[in-house]
Amino acid sequence: MCDTNEITSTSYSSRARDTGIHLAAADTATDRWTEYENEKRRALEKYATEKQKRRLFAPKKKGKKVDVTQSTVQDPAAWENVKVQPQTAWRVDRMKNMTYTQFWQLVKERRVDKVKYTSDKRSVMVTTNEKAPGGVRTEKVGLPYDPDLFDHMVEHGVHIEAEPLNQFDKVIMSFIRLFFPIWFAYLMIMVAFRIGVKKKRDRIFGGAKLDLISKGDKQLTFKDIEGIDQVKAEIRELVEFLKNPKRFIDLGARSPAGVLLVGAPGTGKTLLAKAIAGEAGVPFFSAAGTEFMEVFVGVGASRVRDMFQKARKAAPCILFIDEFDGIGQQRSSTSMGSDESVQTINQLLTEMDGFEDNSGVIVMAATNRPAALDTALTRPGRFDRIIHLPLPNLQGRIGILKVHARNKKIEEGLDYHKVARATAGFTGAELMNLMNTSAVVAVRRGAKIITEADVFQALENIHREKMGRGSTASQYDEDIVPPVLRKTIAVYEAGRVLLGYITPGYDEISQVSVCPGGVPTGYTYFIPQEEHLESRVVTRGYMEARMVVGIAGRCAERLVLGEGNMTTAGGADLDNVNNIAREMVYRCGFSKRLGPVALMDTEEVFIGRGRTRAVANIGSELAAIALTDIEELVEGAEAKAYYGLAVNYKPLQALVERLLVKETMSGKEVAETLEAAGVVRFPDPYVEGFAWAGNGGLVYPGMPSEDEVAAEMGRWPTSPASSNGNSNGAPNGAVPDYMRNPLNPYRVRVDLPDLLCEELRKL
């Protein structure tokens, strides 16, 4: 170890070299320092303790000489040659980057050329020289708090760069630091206040819950809807007014205050309202009529006010209320002023045509029960337009099918006209369900595209569900229906098909099925006539024909299988037949005894609903007369059905046998089978002249007298079976039972000789 003189001399010489200053009196100063150190050593030897002497004057081991030309900072390239990396939780590759300690040491060793501060003064870009480990490189080093760093770099000749200071940055940062906490605190207070007020208002006063579709959202247009050709003119007028209101205002025309969309469920009322908003490019607010009714009085009126207030702020816009009868139902004379429904509709009337200006706000509403609305709503100034949406016609159904087939893989060449023809009477929602069910059917059979067979299979499943005669989920791999039950179902469906085919002016037969897929059920689908669907006006003959066809299945069971083998399959059809008869007598005035008197309640339940409405409050005598007319209509339909089945007994047998072999037949196949068997048609669709006699016989138009019947019976030969005494239990030489009253259809059974059927056909 060097003594104190050597160390001091060395340090002093180093400082002289660092500063570049050569001292002239260096030797004199060294002698004086040596003399001072010697005196200090003699004093310590005289007065120091033994322990202090050993510590101060004991010889120490000499360390290794340090090569000042080599840096103490490790070369980053050395890490690439290390085969075994150290086990550490830190990333080893990041250890090659320069640390702050390494940066300080490199500055001390004068191996750093330039340092540039970043804009935030939290790090520096260090550029080393060629003497540094790794050569010339530039790396980013994070800076801790160190007030001595700047002096350290200046002392060792580092070139320091810094971006020019912008005085506005300090001002802006000071403003942000001062303003941001105040603004954030204010925002939190307002949010908390609004949340509390909204909850309180919703709980006490009731804020309107509106769904908004703004301009920027993806909206529907007229390209996305079809089947509205009948109302396109009025709809496009609304769109033109929303797009260019000045054109109408210049001529003195004001905007329609309200538009009421009326139609059966599934005809696309809500879809049409969205398409109008999307075509015009205006916001679309929607709400349900049931959202305005609460147990607290005044909530509904408050929500109506809030709803119109929001709509006025977003004008021009469309305000749509679905299921409008829930809010606009007719006010009764017994309603009090404090009634919640009365206050709600009064507020609605005031908002639509009151002191507030609703320019640019078009109120649209949809309902299935227009007769249930209050008359004050449909006056001019409130709901100016009432648009009826009928069921789509043939071309409309084709367009709707193509719209719902856009996102599906449909086989090329699908006959949309054929599918639309088979779906007469379907609404837009039902057609959408048809295409979706077709896709499900195709997936079940493992196909990659939807074929025409899949569409008609889905149509058959929908028909079964609609008629309540089976579920599409009950499919069996093999036929497990007993033969007796299968024949019963075949007889029932064959009777309905036969009467529908021979009745003039009735609907076209589309398909008939018996136990499809092993399901113990059957159905017959008739395609409704387009003129009946569009006008919703039918003739008396068509109503009577529906009664005859409806009761034909029940009559076929009784005729072919016997009264003891009748089933409950005809319950729903019989109920429908009775409803038609009640509609004819009570509402349409088709009664012989009562005449043109309407006894049906005027309240309409739903548009397009097949069920009849309630009967008005009438006396017992009048009800008894009406019941007699209803019974005559139903019995006449039953008699005509028996007559048609008896006259066409061979075609009925042929159709039953065909259905037992082939479970599904198209309308064309039914026509071929019946025509080949010599079917006889009815001359007209009416039930006038058909009835039951007192002795149980059948009365029909053009019926022969008893003498003519007796003479006709005399010409009939006796069957070989009757001469042997085993024909229907008749003794030898006696007239068989079926010949005693051949006009009674109860006697017509499967064991009749062909001759009797031929004679009945002549009658």
pLDDT number for residue 67: 60
Classify domain 92-161 at the CATH topology level.
3.30.720
Fold of 475-676: Methane Monooxygenase Hydroxylase; Chain G, domain 1 (1.20.58)
For 19, phi and psi rounded to 5 degrees?
-85, -15
Tokens representing residue 606 in the block = 């739903």
- Angle at which helices 540-560 and 620-647 pack, to 10 degrees? 60
The DSSP bridge pattern shows strands 385-389 and 258-263 to be: parallel
Q: Judge whether 585 and 629 are in contact, CB under 8 Å.
A: yes
| Cα–chain center distance at 575 | 34
What sign for the dihedral angle of Cα 695, 696, 701, 707? negative
DSSP 459-497: HHHHHHHHHTS--TT---SS--S-HHHHHHHHHHHHHHH
Backbone angles phi, psi at 401, to 5 degrees: -60, -40
Kindly tell me the number of DSSP H helices and DSSP E strands found in the chain. 26, 15
What do you get for the CA distance between the two ends of the chain, in Å? 148
Strand intervals (E) in 519-570 = 522-527
The span from the CA of 531 to the CA of 551, in Å, is: 24
Q: Please confirm, yes or no, whether 708 is among the known catalytic residues.
A: no
82: left (phi over 0), alpha (psi -120 to 50) or beta: beta
Alpha-carbon span 627 to 615, nearest angstrom: 12
Tracing tokens 């072919």 back to the chain, one arrives at 560
Q: Which of 109, 323, 430, 493 is catalytic?
A: 493
What is the reported pLDDT for 559?
87
Asked whether the beta carbons of 206 and 282 are under 8 A apart, the reply is no
- CATH tag, 392-467: 1.10.8.60
Task: Give the residue among 31, 36, 111 at the shortest CA–CA distance from 71.
Answer: 111
Give Dmax (Cα) for the chain: 175
pTM score, whole prediction: 0.61
**176 vs 677: CA distance, rounded Å:** 98
Domain locations along the chain:
4-57, 92-161, 211-390, 392-467, 475-676, 693-762
- H/E element, 127: strand 123-128
C-alpha to C-alpha distances, 118 to 112, 139, 163, 299, 463, nearest whole angstrom? 17, 12, 7, 62, 77
How far, in Å, are 141, 723, 759 from residue 733 at the CA level? 130, 6, 21
Class of domain 211-390: alpha beta
Nearest to 347 by CA among 292, 286, 284, 285: 292
pLDDT, averaged per 10 consecutive residues of the chain (763 residues), comes to: 42 41 49 73 73 67 58 65 48 63 89 87 88 85 88 89 74 82 87 63 55 69 78 78 80 80 85 83 82 68 82 84 82 62 82 73 86 82 84 87 88 88 87 92 90 88 68 49 87 94 91 80 84 80 93 91 85 90 88 82 54 66 87 92 90 92 88 92 90 79 67 49 36 39 43 42 48
Q: How many CA atoms lie within 13 A of 625 on its CB side?
A: 14
Element (H, E) at 387: strand 385-389
- Residue 265 structure tokens: 């469920």
| Burial of 544: CB neighbours in 10 Å, binned 0-12, 13-18, 19+ | buried
Where b means 16+ CB within 10 Å and e means fewer, 190-222 reads eeeeeeeeeeeeeeeebbbebeebeeeeebbeb
Q: Could you tell me which residues come within 8 angstroms of residue 543 by beta carbon, excluding any fewer than 6 positions away?
A: 580, 583, 584, 588, 590
Structural contact between residues 94 and 79, judged by C-beta atoms closer than 8 angstroms: no
Q: What is the DSSP letter of 293?
A: -
CB 453 within 8 A of CB 489: no
DSSP β-ladder status, 317-322 and 385-389: unpaired
For residue 298, the model assigns a pLDDT of 65
Q: Which residues pair with 117 in a beta bridge?
A: 124
Alpha-carbon distance of 469 to 573, in angstroms, equals: 12
For 5, 6, 12, 44, 67, the CA distances from 1, given in Å and listed in that order, are 11, 10, 18, 19, 17
Give the dihedral of Cα atoms 395, 401, 405, 409; nearest 10 deg.
Answer: -100
Residues 660, 640: Cα–Cα separation, whole Å: 26
Q: Give the model's pLDDT for residue 10.
A: 40
Tokens of 399: 């367009």
Spatial distance between the Cα atoms of 231 and 222, rounded to a whole number of angstroms: 12
Give residue for tokens 């929001």: 310
Taking CA atoms, 259 is separated from 278, 341, 365, 606, 734, in Å, by 16, 22, 6, 19, 78
Closest by Cα among 43, 70, 64, 48 to 1: 64
Phi first, then psi, for residue 321 (nearest 5°) are -120, 115
Amino acid at site 66 = V
